[in-house]
Amino acid sequence: MHDVIIIGAGPAGLTAGIYAARGGLKTAIVELAMPGGQAASTENIENYPGFPDGINGYELMNSFHKQALTFGVEFIFEEVHELDLKEPIKKIHTDNQVLEARAIIIAAGSKPRLLGVPGEEVFKGRGVSYCATCDGAFFRGKKVVVVGGGDAAIEEGVYLTKFAEEVIIVHRRAGFRASHIAMTHAKDNSKIRFELNAKVEEILGSDHVEGVRILDVLSGETREISADGVFIYVGTDPNTQFINGEIEADERGYIQTNSLLQTNIVGVYAAGDIRNTPLRQVATAVGDGALAAVEVERYLSEQ
C-alpha cells in the first residue's frame, strides 16, 4: 500500500514524486519507458529558468530522476493497463501486478500526433520520425522535411541542420505559432528553407522515404519534393489509453481538473501535459507536479 502513486515520470511526475516523498508520503512512480518523458529527448531547453545557456533535456531530466531517488521515491517500470478508482483505495493494474494507493496523480503526458497521410505508417523507422534528437544523426549529409509550425517543429528543424545538408520546413499557413527567438534562429540558418501554405499529402518511397507530395492550399496544385527523411511535429495527444472513461476529459481527451488539479474523482489528480492546460512546457509541468503533490498531502492528512 502506497500513500500516492504517480503515473508517468516526465517533469510533472518527477516533481510530484520529489514533493510527495519529501513530505513524508510513501511514493511510487510507474513509468513504461525511461524517466523524463518527451523533455528527455529534447536537445536543448532554453526557457527553463536557471540555465542561461540552455541545458540538454536528458541531462535536466536525469537530475530530476536522481533527486527523486534521493528522497526515496520508488520507481516501477511497467505499463499501466487499467485503473480502478471507484473505492477509496485506488488500484492500478500493470503488466505484472495490481498496485494500491490512497491517492493517484496522473502525469502520463502526451505523445506526438500522427500526420495521418499515406506512407506515414509504412515508413515509420525507415525515414519517418517524431524525434530529431533520437534520429537526426542518421541523416548526416542528407535532405529532410520537417512538418509543423510550432516551437517543436522549428527548434527541432534547427537542430537537424547539425546533420542534414538541407532542412525544408513545411507549414500549412504563412504564420507560425513558434516563438520569436525560435523563428529568428531558423530564418538565420542557411540550411533551412520554408514551404508555406503547404500540406504534406503523402510520404513517398519504395523501401524507405524518398520524398513527399505537398499540396499548395492556395492554388490547389500538388508537387513532389525529394527527401531522405520526414520529421513530424503537428501537435500531441494525451496518453490516456489506460483510462476507461471514469475521469472527465475534454473533446481531445485531455483530463479536466480544477485549479487545485483535482479531477472529478476524489483522491485522483492530474498534472502536466495530460491535463487540459493552455501551456505545455517543462516549467508549467514542474509547477503542476508540485501543486498536485501538496494537494495530495493535504487530502491524505484530512482523511
Positive or negative torsion for Cα 216, 156, 141, 186: positive
Rounded CA-CA distance 15/279 in Å is 17
- Any idea of the CA torsion for 125, 127, 128, 133, to the nearest 10 degrees? 80
Q: Are 246 and 85 in contact (CB under 8 A)?
A: yes
Q: How many beta carbons lie within 10 A of that of residue 27, not counting itself? A: 27
Residue 142: name the closest of 206, 70, 226 by CA: 226
What's the CA angle centered on 232, arms 226 and 237, to 5 degrees? 160
> Under DSSP, is residue 151 helix (H, G, I), strand (E, B) or coil?
helix
Q: Identify any residues that bridge with 111 across adjacent strands, giving them in sequence order.
A: 237
227's grid cell: 527527401
Residues with catalytic function: 131, 134-135
Strand order of the sheet with strand 229-232? 128-129, 229-232, 143-147, 166-170, 192-195
Residue 211, all three cell numbers: 520524398
